[in-house]
Amino acid sequence: MKKRILVTGGAGFVGSHLCEALLKKGHEVFCLDNFFTGQKKNILHLLDDPYFELIRHDITMPFFIEADEIYNLACPASPIHYQYNGIKTIKTSVMGAINMLGLAKRLNAKVLQASTSEVYGDPEIHPQPEHYWGNVNPIGPRACYDEGKRCAEALFVNYHRQNHVKIKIARIFNTYGPRMHPNDGRVVSNFIVQALNGEDITIFGDGEQTRSFCYVDDMVRALIGLMETPDEVTGPMNLGNPGEFTMLQLAELVLKLTGSSSKITFLPLPQDDPMQRQPDITLARKTIAWEPHTHLEEGLKHTIQYFKNILNF
């Protein structure tokens, strides 16, 4: 059945892939974005599709449209961007959630929240299962993002309990792929752009901290899978690739795949930078029969090719 689907943050990295996948499935897509970190060129190729509509709007303001499903992705995701204006980041997470939950309540629509592994902070349990409450500094530099997303989760479960809104909470772990912004500051885009430009690869700290990287196509498949679950499935559900790598391993892999002769340089570790991160995806495996298929090496090859194209190599 053709559905009308609102994607907030639809011109961003993950959002643009999601819009594309939903259109391919035959749905009508409303892409809402204020272009803070998203780019029009991410969705240019969709503009001619009569079932695609682009709306410039800021999610902190109320918004009304007729839709069957809402994917709420609007929020800067890279530490540099979300710390640029911390108050705005909190408003985007909290007021954005209130506006989208209010809309879902009024429409009796399903609403999916793009939450994050950052709700676990610097985790003391490894890998992280959904029942872990996390270790977050509420007043540190990452708090605007972490606590904003935690508050959004609290809003989602309360709208569900009090008003029976059909919610889905996805806890997304580090995701990468084509259409990441070259100046976005996240580790995968930074290392690839540095390697291609022959600049030093900047490792923060000693490079022994770990992350688990999920390729964007796998993530989009999981988000749609979660949205399609029966109403009693609300999450939170971890979505990510359990393959765990140190930042040194990532740097070495990027150097190998780009054939770059860039040197590695070590810079101070930012405050509250989590030391380890790996999703426990037992719940996603059981509930939506989801498994990420793309190996880091393969995903990096696609991502490197994308950056070569946009940087004219």
Residues with catalytic annotation?
A: 145
Q: Give Cα 108 to chain centroid, integer Å.
A: 25
180 binds ligand UDP (CB under 6 A): no
Interface pick for ligand UDP out of 11, 59, 247, 300 (rule CB under 6 A): 247
Among 190, 241, 262, 278, interactor with ligand UDP by CB under 6 A: 190
Give the CA distances from residue 275 to residues 139, 140, 218, 244, 246, in Å, rounded to whole numbers and listed in that order: 18, 16, 24, 12, 10
- Residue 8 sits at φ, ψ, to 5 deg, of -85, 145
Q: Shortest distance, CB of residue 247 to ligand UDP, whole angstroms?
A: 4
d(CA 127, CA 28): 37
Residue 130: how many other CB atoms lie within 10 Å: 18
Instruction: Name the binder of 212 from ligand NAD, ligand UDP, none, CB < 5-8 A by kind.
Output: none
Encoded tokens for 164: 């029976």
Strand duo 166-172 + 237-239: pairing: parallel
- Scanning 7-15, 131-139, 182-190, 227-235 for contacts with ligand UDP by CB under 6 A, the matching segment is 182-190
The binding track of 155-194 with respect to ligand NAD, each residue x by CB under 6 A or -, is -----------------x-xx-------------------
Subset of 200-239 contacting ligand UDP (CB under 6 A):
202-204, 209, 211
Which residue stretch of 30-38, 63-71, 271-279, 292-300 sits at the interface with ligand NAD (rule: CB under 6 A)? 30-38
In sequence order, what E strands does the chain have?
Answer: 4-8, 28-33, 52-56, 69-72, 110-116, 166-172, 175-176, 201-204, 210-212, 214-215, 237-239, 244-246, 264-267
Binding mask 248-277 for ligand UDP (x = CB under 6 A): ----------------------x--x----
Q: Which of 274, 94, 277 is nearest to 174 (CA)?
A: 277
Kindly tell me which residue out of 10, 38, 79, 127 binds ligand UDP, with binding defined by CB under 6 A: 79
CA angle 122, 298, 313 (to 5 degrees): 100
With respect to ligand UDP, which residue has the nearer C-beta, 190 or 303?
190
Compare residues 47 and 267 and give the one whose CB is closer to ligand UDP: 267
Query: Which amino acid is present at 244?
Result: E
Interface positions with ligand NAD (CB under 6 A): 8-9, 11-15, 33-38, 58-60, 73-77, 92, 114, 116, 172, 174-175
Interface positions with ligand UDP (CB under 6 A): 78-79, 174, 186-187, 190, 202-204, 209, 211, 247, 270, 273
